[in-house]
Amino acid sequence: MEYRLLIVILNYIATEVTLDCLQSLSNCPAVTGGEARVVVWENGTGEQAVATLERAIALNHWEAWAELLISPVNLGFTGGNNRVIERAMLAGDRPEYFLLLNSDTLVTDDSLISLLAFMDNHPQAGIAGSRLLTVNGEHQCSPFRFPGIASEFDRGLKLGVVSRLLSNRAAAMPPPSHETQVDWVSGASMMLRRKMLEQIGLLDEGFFTYFEDVDLCRRAHRSGWGVWYVPASQVIHLEGASSGISSHIAKRRPSFWFAARRRYFLKHHGKWTASLVDALFLVAFATWRLRRRIQRKPETDPVCMLGDFMRNSVFAKGYRLPVVVAPHVKPD
């Protein structure tokens, strides 16, 4: 049987986590049945990571369905995935679908089959996302509404009465129990139709990492392709294990996260909306920080979030569309 699905996994630093992901894929019917193949893109971690991955693939006899490609530098989520997709697009046996799969995921037996069946039965669906679960089986945030003025204000203020009033504008959606068309789905497990990519283009490498999945889904919508949440496809997501950023960990946000956020709002909403979004978030978040101190609530926010946000807002950085650079590369 010719393979129809190419699964792309990026490895950067978290090599042991990547091996666990590959182990979970080795038991999937879509893989064992020959419908899916896997490319692991080693995204500049170094020689030790390459040796570990090569050894694991050989010892476990995964060569029939898994291939390792090596980059000497970190190209980010966008560049790494794009290089693999571009290579497959030029091949004679181009796959119908691509699955962007985080290295910090574990797929269940029906994860891939469910997404493939859904895409086959919905030819206007360009993107389909899995239901993401914690290791304890609890729901993780996905799917989402597009971020905007109301959702960013609510995210900064963290006030229950306001959150209830704006519940229909909040970015995170209550998890639907059935297949549902949504604004965007997480790039942790996102299936893409090749025909859609041929029309709208690949991931925007100006993002490097973060907000690229929101951007891709918005571009899909604008070109008439549906974006769907498919809860029958269940994937365990060890959130933050590959990126170091988790919604449950108060860790300082890197500068490239802020740059990607700024790029998204400037690209899709323009400078006036981007200004309003930043201003409202700053006022709301400063209000929350004062309230937290008065009420002596426990610290849950990323370290230095208010100051970092101010330094990376459009008011400090300007309105030029930023191109996010790798953390180890100094911008010109």
pLDDT at 160: 93
Q: Do 95 and 212 sit in the same domain of this protein?
A: yes
What's 174's DSSP letter? Answer: P
pLDDT tens digits for 285-329?
A: 999 999 999 999 999 999 999 999 999 999 999 999 999 987 765
Q: Do 283 and 138 sit in the same domain of this protein?
A: no
- What's the rounded mean pLDDT across residues 53-77? 96
Which residues partner with 67 through β-bridges? 39
Residue 189 has pLDDT above 90, yes or no: yes
pLDDT tens digits for 107-153?
A: 998 899 999 999 999 999 999 999 999 999 999 988 999 999 999 99
Q: Do 259 and 139 sit in the same domain of this protein?
A: no
Residue 332 has pLDDT above 50, yes or no: no
The answer as to whether 272 is a domain residue is yes
| pTM of the predicted protein model | 0.93
Residue 250: which pLDDT band, with cuts at 50, 70 and 90? low
Residue 52 has pLDDT above 80, yes or no: yes
Residues 300 and 298: their CA atoms lie apart, in Å, by: 6
pLDDT at 328: 66
188: CATH: 3.90.550.60
Residue 280: which pLDDT band, with cuts at 50, 70 and 90? very high
The answer as to whether 149 is a domain residue is no
Using alpha carbons, select from 36, 28, 32 the residue that is nearest to residue 2.
36
Residue 235 has pLDDT above 90, yes or no: yes
Q: What is the CA radius of gyration of the chain?
A: 20
The answer to whether the beta carbons of residues 269 and 321 sit under 8 Å apart is: no
pLDDT tens digits for 173-188?
A: 988 999 999 999 999 9
One DSSP character per residue, 70-138 reads EESS--HHHHHHHHHHHHHHTSTT--SEEEEE-TTEEE-TTHHHHHHHHHHH-TTEEEEEEEEE-TTS-
Residue 241 has pLDDT above 70, yes or no: no
Q: Do 49 and 138 sit in the same domain of this protein?
A: yes
- As for how many domains the chain has, the answer is 2
Residue 243: which pLDDT band, with cuts at 50, 70 and 90? very low
Residue 248 has pLDDT above 80, yes or no: no
**Residue 233: CA atoms inside 13 Å, Cβ hemisphere, count?**
29
Q: Do 69 and 139 sit in the same domain of this protein?
A: yes
Query: For residue 106, what are the domain limits?
Result: 5-144+182-237
